[in-house]
Structure formats: C-alpha cells, structure tokens
A and B are shown apart, each in its own frame.
Chain A
Amino acid sequence: MAVYEQKSVREAPSSSKGVIHWLKDNLFSTPSNVIMTLLGLYLLYIIIPPFVQWAYTDANFVGDSRAQCTGDGACWVFVKMKMDMFMYGFYPEDQVWRLNTGLGLFIVLIAAFKFLKSSKLKIIAFFIYLLAAFILVNGGLLGLDIIPTDKWGGLMLTIVVAAAGIIFSFPIGIVIAFGRASNLPIIRSICITYVEFIRGVPLITILFMSSVILPLFFPEGMTFDKLLRALIGITLFQAAYVAEIIRGGLQSIPTGQYEAADAVGLSYWQKMLLVILPQALKVAIPNLVGAFISLFQDTTLVLIIGLFDLLAMVRITAADSTWLGMETEGYVFVTFVFWAFCYGMSRYSQSLEEQYNTNLK
C-alpha cells in the first residue's frame, strides 16, 4: 500500500510578500500611482510637521501665566488656566462639584445598564437619573442653591442643550412619525406640513423665532428663560428630523406585522407601541445616532442668540486682557473636543449599523 505523505506547504513566492512588495503593490504600482503617492507625501509634509512643531515641539505646557509662554508655538497654559471656563462656564466655583457628581452618576447609570436585565428597570433608572441630574445642575431642592441659567456655560451647556434636545424631541418625533404614517388624511397632512416646514428652513431662523417671537405668543408677564427658549427651538427643530428617521424605520416594517397585530386584536396604540415601534426603532438606531451627532454640532448655534456654549467660551476667554490673542489655542482646543465627541459617536453608529445589518438580511 502506497503511503502518501503530505508535503509541507510552500511559502508564498518572495515577490508577493514583505514590506517592499506591499509598498510596490499599494503605493508604486503604476507611474500615475507613483506621482499620486509623492503628491500625497508632499501634502502631508507641508501640513503635519509645522502643526506638530506648533502644537507640541515649540509649545508651552507648564506654568500659570502668560509670561511663561516663551516658545514660538502654542501656549497651552492658556487652555490649562481657563479649563474651568471651557468646561463649566460661569458656574460658581464652589458648586462645580454638583456637575462632577452628575457626570459620576452618569457613569454609574451606564454601569447599571449593564447589570439590569429588565428594560422596565432600565427606563426607571434612566428617569431617576434625569431627575437627579436636573436637581444637581439646576438646584432648588435638597438645600441646593438655584444656579441661574445665565451662569451655565462651556461644555456643560453644550451637553445640556444636546441632551435636552434629544430627550424631548424623541417622543414628539415618534408621535409625528405615527401621524405621517397614519391613514387619517387631516392628521397626516398636518404632520407632513410640520416636517417639511421645519426641514426647509435653517436652524438659525428657528432659533431667532423662538428667542424673539415666542415671548409674544404668551400672555404678558409669562417670561421664558433664554436657555429654555433655545431649548424649545432646538427641540421643535430636531423633532422633525427624528420623525423623518422613524418614518423610514416604520416603512421598513412589512405589512404582515401590522396585519398580524390587528389579527390578534391589539388596539392601535398596542399595535404601534408593542409590535411596530420596537422593530422600527431597531432599524432607525444608526440614523438616530447620526441625527444626534448633527444635533450635537448644531448646539454651537446657540452662541448666535447669546448663550455661552463651549464655542462661545473661546471668544470670552480670549477677551481676558491678560490673555489677549490666544484665540487660536482656544479654537484648536474646542475643535478637538467637538471632533472627539462626534467622531466617537460616528464610530459607535457605524458599529451599530454593522451589528443590526446582519439581522435584516
């Protein structure tokens, strides 16, 4: 009986492996590729080294006054000294612990979400957190002083606006999406008009409207906080976009699901809330995260109506007479903070998309 021995696997030919080969394949395969690579390298060369030199090599990190910024590069001392302003705005210094506690509780909440199995408990925990965060930030209960909203600012205000925007616009958006998908003609046309109107105008005009015209809508003596007016504008704006995304999710649900829910005798709201919405939301989640990213970016617009968000803090801190001319450092720092938040969220939404994509196909 013949004995067959398996020969050892031959190595890949040397022409198809190794760094040199990778370079040849990916960077220098054709003459036009060589030119492109060289152009790309040149572009990197004129952008990156000067930036690194300015932001790191020649920059000043230590010290606590302007005099200690001796190098030609960036003066990060400015950002370090003004960090409280960038983070908390004009929030009283001795009360900042309340904001930090709120942030700490948020981490606790995320951890609790990992442990809590029932979604009912999760929802309850979430609402308890919202209440606690509101009391901590705003005050007025449990012996905490009320901090007027004109003291709120910096990253904290940006997060408050973004969070309030998404939390309030979400239920409104769901209701409008239901209205748009309903077969009652008047309800449907009201919802379509609302969504198309809001999506057709820039956010800044809506913010102007909510800050200038809204007070006229209510009886004399009824005053609205500036922040509250901005929040109303942003919520109304965002609701239209949320509605459009959820409508997309609703459309992806096959008719059989509606019919099956009808067949087992569920009422309209039971059908929508227990059968249709959970499936539609699952489809819509990546896009909702996308909408949240643009909301987070759009919060910068509140500076135009006179609130002091993170971006507005650049101008305010650089107007300090001891730190004049430090705008560049401020803008670069704030750009980095916004970028990190948005990029993180967009990666998260991409991973969600991949996660949910497999279920659908």
Chain B
Amino acid sequence: MMHALRNQKVRGILFQLLTVIGLVAFLWYIGSNTMSNIEQRGIKTGFEFLNSTAGFGIDEAPISYQETDTHGRVFFVGLSNTLIIGFVGIIFSTILGLIIGVLRLSNNWLIRKMSAAYIDIFRNIPILLQILFWYNVVLKSLPAPRKSLEFAGDIFMNNRGLYIPQPDINSTTLTILASFVVAIVSIFFLNIWGNKKQEETGKDFPIIIIGFALFIILPIIAYFIGGANFNFDYPSLQGFNFRGGKSISPEFLALTFALVIYTATFIAEAVRSGIEAVSKGQKEAAASIGLSQYQALKLVVLPQAIRIAIPPTINQYLNLIKNSSLATAIGYPEIVTVFSGTSLNQVGQAIEIIAMTMLVYLTISLVVSAILNWFNHKMKIKER
C-alpha cells in the first residue's frame, strides 16, 4: 500500500479522484440547498417564464416589441441591442484607435505628446465613471429641444438625443446599400487576385486607388439603376420635441462615446506596439532592394505589424462587448438592463435568467476566440 503511494502515477490518479469527489460533493451540497431554498421561497423553476407576458415597455427596440410581448422576446430585444452597441463600438473604436496609435508615432512632437496624453488620461479612468460622466454631465447639460444645437442644417442635438435625417427605404436606397456590399466583396477578391498577380509578375496592383474608385462609382451607378429616387426623412421640431428622421437616444450616445473613447486607448497601444515591433533593419532592407516607401509599408512593414497588433485588438473588442453590460447603470436597454434587470425583477427566477445572460456572453467569447485562433494559425510564420 505504502509502496503504491510512492508511485507518482498512482498519486496523480488518487489526487484527481479526491478532487472530483470533493467537487461533486460541493456541487451536490449547493444544489440541494438551492432546491430547498427555492421551494421554501416559492420561486418557480424552468423556462416557462419565457412565454409569459412581459408587460413593460422598452424605448429602443430594434426588433418590433410591444408591452404584451413575452420575456423571450425581451431577451432577443436585449440581445440585439447588445450586438448593435458592440458593432457600432467596434467600428468607431477601431477607427479612433488606429488614428491615435499612428499619431502616437508621428514625427510631430506636439501631436505625439497629445496622443500620449489622450491614452494616459482615458485608460486610467474607470469605464463606468466615463459612461456616467457622459450621461449625467455632458449630455444632460445640452440645451432643450427648442434650443437644439444644429449641425449642417438637418442634424440636431439636444438633451433628448441626436436627430439625423434618415433615407426613405425604396428601390434607390436598397440598390445603393447592395452596391456597397458588391464593392466590399469585389475589393476583397481583387486584392487576392492582385497579390497573386504581383507574386507572378512583380507588378504592383493599385488596390487602394481602385478600391476607392469602386466605393464611389458603384453607388453612383446604383443610384441611377435604382430609379434616382433618393429621399430623406428630415427631423423637424414639432411642439416640444423632434419628429421624423432617425433619433438616437442619449443613453446610446453616452454608452458609445464612453466605450469608444476608452477602448480606443487600448487599440492605439496595440497598433503602436505592432508598428514599433517591426525592426528598423526590415525597413532598411526594404529600402535597399529598391522598394518605394509605399511598397515597403504594404509589403514589408504592415504584414508584420498586423500579426502583432491584431490579437490584442480582438481581445479589446471582446472587452468592449463585455463592458457594454455597464449600460445597466444608465438604462440603455441591452441584455443586462432589460433581461437581467427588469425581467429578473418581475419573474424572480435569478438562476435561469443570469445563466442565460452569461451564456450569451460566453457564446460571443467563444466565437471571438475561435476567430482569434483561426487568425493566429493563418498568420503563423511558415518556417521551412
């Protein structure tokens, strides 16, 4: 017996067995306690509540929603708002982060210092504080609808939100939208074709110029194909508030501003470290074999910089989506606010509701890390 215990393998198995027994016992203990507690307090179990009427309104519902709809519908309203804020936040924080990250390495002293100051200031202020600051201080101090700030004649901003013209949905709008999709897809394939061509012939394919041209020409063609009927629904002041156009709530604005400004600091640092990681020798080598500055950037520096900058950036996207859950502090109706908040208060089935919410975020995380793994695998330096 003692002899067997000295064997490392036997001890390993024994130790794992004890851990599993301990874990199962612990789970059984809390499980049975939970069951008896739930019974005593008369809390229902199961997912029946998803079919019961919610009975509360939601101000911003991207999918149609009425008070008479079910809690299941509330879940999807919250989920779609989470995805919307995630999508918008990712787009804008990438743009801002890229700009700040590149400016951080500018040869202009003032610009360099200002970008560094931006990063040092905003990454050191808690994101929840930034959200509350935008919501309670900046947006609340805007004028009332009657004295709205006016931009370009048709964009209005006041303490009830931002009002922008919205294009009518007709054949023209739809063909223009379709033309953007066509442009993106064709640029993607042209890029692949151009790279292949370059490897074969050594001739550079001007993808950036052609890409820009496609983005301008295709929508113009689409405008005429679609019947040249492009109308906007303009917001206008009627009574005490604006009607028409597209209105964006102060909750959404505060959340977007705070998330974008905060996340951009981290993306900027990722971009900077990616560019800095490309050694000087690489740039000099590119110059010495006669590549132009643009060629050196496109063929030598960026491919190496991207490999380093993308993984932390994708992690920041994930953080942005997780941080969007703080919307619950200002009441933007994403999943934590409406489902883990309002629905939970009405139904009282905390375990089911919080588990479903966590599952949403876990799924998003798993998808994002799958993308990240795929990227890392694709970008791995192929050594011979």
Contacts and interface: CB of A to CB of B under 8 A. Distances in A.
A173 to B, nearest CB: 18
B181 interface: no
A179 B107 CA distance: 47
A83 interface: no
B124 A36 contact: no
Contacts of B336: 202, 204-205, 208
A41 B136 CA distance: 29
Given A184-B16, A186-B20, A204-B325, A331 B129 contact: yes
Contact of A335 (B30, B125, B340): B125
Interface in A6-50: 26-27, 29, 33, 36-37, 40-41, 43-44
A115 interface: no
Interface string B108-150: 1111001000001101111111001100110001000000000
Interface string B337-353: 00010001000001100
Contacts of B109: 26-27
B210 interface: no
A209 interface: yes
Contacts of B76: none
B357 interface: yes
Given A43-B114, A190-B23, A304-B329, A335 B129 contact: yes
A338 B33 contact: no
Given A187-B16, A200-B365, A304-B328, A213 B351 contact: yes
Contacts of B33: 216-219
Contacts of A212: 344, 350, 354
Interface in B8-40: 12, 15-16, 19-20, 23, 30, 33-34, 36-38, 40
A44 B110 CA distance: 10
Interface bin, chain A: 35 or more
A288 interface: no
Nearest to B112: A26
Interface in A109-133: none
A218 B366 CA distance: 31
A300 B128 contact: yes
A84 interface: no
B326 interface: yes
Interface residues of B, number: 53
B362 interface: yes
A2 interface: no
B339 to A, nearest CB: 11
Nearest to B321: A202
Nearest to B29: A217
Contacts of A184: 12, 15-16
Interface string A282-317: 000000000001000110110110000001001000
A67 interface: no
A224 interface: no
A40 B114 contact: yes
A172 interface: no
A323 interface: no
B249 interface: no
A181 to B, nearest CB: 14
Contact of A37 (B110, B340, B362, B365): B110
B34 A202 contact: no
Contact of B40 (A183, A197, A220, A342): A220
A171 B326 CA distance: 29
A185 B15 CA distance: 11
A327 interface: yes
B323 interface: yes
Contacts of B108: 26-27, 29, 33, 36-37, 40
A40 B365 contact: no
Contact of A303 (B23, B114, B329, B362): B329
B362 A200 contact: yes
A198 to B, nearest CB: 10
B106 interface: yes
A200 B321 CA distance: 10
A279 interface: no
A41 B124 CA distance: 24
A331 B12 contact: no
B322 interface: yes
A200 B114 CA distance: 34
Contacts of B107: 26, 29, 33
B177 interface: no
Contacts of B136: 327, 331
A334 interface: yes
Among A27, A205, A219, the most chain B Cβ lie within 10 Å of the Cβ of A205
A218 B38 CA distance: 11
Among B20, B23, B128, the most chain A Cβ lie within 10 Å of the Cβ of B128
A200 to B, nearest CB: 4
B110 A41 contact: yes
B322 A202 contact: yes
Contacts of A201: 322, 358, 361-362, 365
Interface in A161-195: 183-187, 190
Contacts of B132: 311, 314, 331
A327 B124 contact: no
A338 B125 contact: yes
Contacts of B322: 201-203
A346 interface: yes
A22 B224 CA distance: 55
Nearest to A40: B110
Contact of B19 (A190, A328, A331, A343): A190
* 4 tightest A-B CB contacts, nearest first: A200-B365, A26-B109, A342-B124, A297-B126
11 contacts: A29-B107, A37-B111, A41-B110, A44-B114, A205-B358, A213-B351, A216-B351, A304-B326, A327-B136, A328-B141, A342-B124
Given A190-B19, A205-B361, A343-B124, 6 more contacts: A186-B19, A187-B19, A196-B365, A200-B365, A202-B323, A311-B132
Interface of A: 26-27, 29, 33, 36-37, 40-41, 43-44, 183-187, 190, 196-197, 199-205, 208-209, 212-213, 215-220, 293, 297-298, 300-301, 303-304, 311, 314, 327-328, 331, 334-335, 338-339, 342-343, 346
Interface of B: 12, 15-16, 19-20, 23, 30, 33-34, 36-38, 40, 106-111, 114, 120-121, 123-129, 132-133, 136-137, 141, 322-323, 325-326, 328-329, 336, 340, 344, 350-351, 354, 357-358, 361-362, 364-366
